[in-house]
Amino acid sequence: MAIVVRASVALTSVVLAAAACRPTTGATTTGSDADSGTTATATTSSATSRGISSSGADETGTATPPGSSSTSAGGSTSADGTGGGVVVRDCNTAVHFVYFVEADAVYDQAEYDAIEQMAFAFQAYWFEQLGTTFFLHSPVVDVIEADHPGQWYVDTPDGIHNDDRWYRLGNIKTEVYAKLGASDFDPQHRFVNYPPSRHDGRVGANFGGAWMDGDDLTCMLGLNDGVTFPFDEQGPAHCMGHVAHEFGHILGLPHQGPDTDCMQFGFYNNTGGDRMCQFSAENVEQILAEPGNAGWLDALPGQLCLPGR
């Protein structure tokens, strides 16, 4: 099926207090695949990229960047897919936000808009946490018309994992990377993927991507009372907090920190309240010292990149 780029919602401003960028030096680490209990080490041209599948849950809230404003789904659009962001030249890495429309789902402009808004909000959030952030890819959202219905990705062995909980992650990852020309732990591209269908407990982060659930997308639309349920028995979670937890794994963090940290239970509303969770000073320090993040955190909010162009 074709990869489609759709019109996007313009981000009119991102206003954040400036913070100094910190150096990225520290000890070398390898990536642990918590899905299958194996170790996955990937050497890039400059460092080791790392990803860990989460055994916990994730969330997201309303997708308006702190201190910024954006148009609504019915507002003005940018046909070039930049969402009003600024494309920077001479950059080498970017984070893709992917709208993965399963074969039995229908493309929804409101869902596309919610993902785009989340992308800018998420980029701004990490700037608040780290004093620097990642480049978004241009176009900000890649739309993939998937080859199979949603249940196929859940039920079909992915050739990677022995645990069937992770078939969906592996199958979607394989298709996304094939269609976008990426590789596992790609040295220039990282991914945040949103499908429309809901399958609780089947989210995680590995291979350089955060693989979210349709329930996260529903939460981002302001439905579901504005929460997501990664696992029903663990209660409601914050939309952006959920993906922040998974992206923390991409940046090299295990489940560590105080209970209210994003890498622990802070993204659950019944633990961290209804506010967005934060990363502890120790976790921030580890992210900035992780060699696998060298070259990945050199942007300001609103900046886009086409790596190698």
Residue 215 sits at the vertex; the CA angle it makes with 214 and 217, to the nearest 5 degrees, is 65
Domains, in order of start, for the chain: 39-72+90-305 (3.40.390)
Residues 18-39: tens digit of each pLDDT: 222 222 222 222 233 333 233 3
Residues 245-303: tens digit of each pLDDT: 999 999 999 999 999 899 998 888 765 556 789 999 999 999 999 999 999 999 999 99
Distance (Å, whole) CA 121 – CA 242:
14
Per-residue pLDDT, 270: 63
Q: Tell me the one-letter amino acid at 178.
A: A
Cis peptide before 230 (omega within 30 of 0): no
Residue 44 pLDDT greater than 60, yes or no = no
Per-residue pLDDT, 134: 98
Across 111-134, average pLDDT: 97
Q: How far from chain centre, in Å, is Cα 124?
A: 13
Residue 199 pLDDT greater than 70, yes or no = yes
Residues 73-111: tens digit of each pLDDT: 222 245 677 788 999 988 999 999 999 999 999 999 999
Q: What is the chain's length?
A: 309
β-partners of residue 40 are 31
Residues 19, 282 contacting (CB under 8 angstroms): no
Q: pTM for the whole thing?
A: 0.77
Beta strand 94-101 pairing with 189-194: parallel
